[in-house]
Structure 1
Amino acid sequence: MSNFLSKSLARIKPSSTIAATQRARELAAQGRDVIALSTGEPDFETPEHVQVAAIRALTGGKTRYTPTHGIPELRDAVVEKFRRENGVVYTREEIIISNGGKQVIANAFMATLNEHDEVLIPAPYWVSYPELVALCGATSVIAETTAANGLKLTPEALERHITPQTKWVVLNSPGNPSGAAYTRDELRALAEVLLRHEHVWVMSDDIYEHLVYDAFEFATIAAVEPRLRERTLIVNGVSKAYAMTGWRIGYGAGPASLIKAMDVVQGQVTSAASSVAQWAAVAALQGPQDFLAARREVFKQRRDLVVDQLDACVGLACARPEGAFYVFPSCAGTFGKRAPSGKPIQDDATFALELLAAEGVSVVHGSAFGMPGHFRVSYAASTQSLVEACKRIQRFCAELSPC
């Protein structure tokens, strides 16, 4: 069988976040009391007006193939969203609708990357970035960040890692797994570097843009520095802010030539996204937006709860991020101690496995995101579940013993 499989498959690994979530489901199916904080999926329902729009699309016969790059009505809604919320002007031809934000990213990489090309990715990073780069036969260049700079890429690090082979730099703000978000001034400083390197394109993954807290103002680099617009791809979607993860609608905005190339890829891989989901997304972008503030306040309260509780744990240190719905604590202070099972905790993977075994709390180890010594907690769960999970994590850390 190994000779039958593609060599490309050997270059990539299964998603660690999906694997952790699946393991939690399996244990729950076996009767274990498991709290899964390993997946990035809001526990809110899709807004009612969006559901109604989907039903109307179904009963109205809007169930057939659509243009590969999306229905005109949704692309126009995306154009208006960028004008209204981000101050960036696009045309319909500069928009593509895909089966989730992940496909937008995959389309872009498949349409542009060749062997020996490099993609600059700050760590910690979303698990799929380097895997999609590898699938295309290109190379990920990882730029490490530190707690001192808020787990964000600095202009100095960006300059240091750019080479003649660099084709893309990926910016995810607010970020998964850290929740770190770039200020307008931080983006402007990065843009100054990128303006000196005209061969480098920017992939701005803005999927968590509506989830920022404490008066933080979201900004996207194409708006901060308009001179980068013609080599920037903005990736976004309705999954996170609108609680539409299962609807699988993402969208990309960039130069028409790039969007056309991505459309060619998508046309051969999946064709268009679901017609019904596209009409639901039109309602999401054009309909009432007031519920976003209320949900954002709930997420902020959950963030503060989780940060305060985890930062009080023996051996953990948890920063308070600007956005998204993740925290990324350091668990390095637990290394060298013994878990209740008697197994020594040697790294973040062992920490996550032992926490699941002892307390039934599922998290994702930091090495999966390119930053060992940490773990990711998603607070996109009910407050009741988070309170109980934090108690269990505190108990687990308190019961660790010297080796």
Structure 2
Amino acid sequence: MLEQLQIEQFQVAVPDDVLADLRRRLAQTRWPDQVPGAGWDYGANLEYLQALCRYWETEYDWRATEEALNAWPQFVTTIDEQRIHFLHARSPEPNARPLILTHGWPSSVVEFLNVLGPLTDPVAHGGRAADAFHIVVPSLPGYGWSGPTTTSGWHTGRIAAAFLDLMHQLGYSRFAAHGGDWGSVICGEMGRQSPDRVLGLHLTFLVTAGLQPADGAPTDEELTLMAAQERYNATEQGYVALQATKPQSLAFGLNDSPAGLAAWIVEKLQTWTDHGGDLESALNKDQILGNITTYWVTGTVGSAARLYYEEAHAGRLGPAERVGVPTSVAVYPKELNRTSRRIAEHQYNIERWTNMPRGGHFPAAEQPDLFVAHIRESFRAT
């Protein structure tokens, strides 16, 4: 029998002196040089980062982000000796279905702020009462207001067990689950650990083992996707190698320099979002900085990176056993691990496969309307 959790109400309230220190550090940034005309080829672009950090120092209003977070009920509890922060937005509709939304790296609960209203109260947003959800959005252990992890071993299997406990304690005997990035892996693990409780999965990021011998030759589509994945592995996987091996060394710099933290995260946003050359057409400055500031004020950039280390050292950094839970996949054109349906079906029990018209790695923030519509369609039969 699970121990009854002590759940306390919570609101974000960053002290003024923390924000003043942030502005001081931004003003005193020691900027690196950059090869003329390099753009984003070597990593974060100097000109863009300087402009973003000027805005962060002089114009960005963290209190507006704080207000947006505090508009939703938030709580903290302790599970497996680790603090867990979560938003819990109950729908006004009595027949709403419970749904957990799980973020990844380098994201936070801020990613989902624009979809909470339409998902919990569809009637107020032009939808149907039958499409309502009770929403739980936890901060991953080591991320945001869940605070740094204080012990080793917080891999995705352990996080999944903690989130299953959380949903039980909130009174949700059965629920649906959405995940992207690490959230996708965690949701899949919840489905493996407790398939009788997970009604269905909605995933935007897949981890697969590739073609199997019995599959025969790859299709033209699969050849194209495999070539794209090879290019990605050759040019974009350095952050995984570093965070999976020496995350603490990285943490000293990113936890001390807000410009360094911004560079580390924004370079990924630039590559992983669907923007056609203008990042801020996908995510505006306030969205970008709301997420980055979350890492800064909670001091969790180092512990967030540790998840890669924990996963690697537990031998879990790769495909796992097949998930039998019914799964709906939204394939966004700028997602990282794109694959074919037949390859994905080796790992997931796929009942819906939708090629989305636009969007990238953070669809709830980039394309909230498309995201909400697909969530609704995916779980109407559950």
TM-score (norm: length of structure 2): 0.27
Structure with greater Cα Rg:
1
TM-score (norm: length of structure 1): 0.26
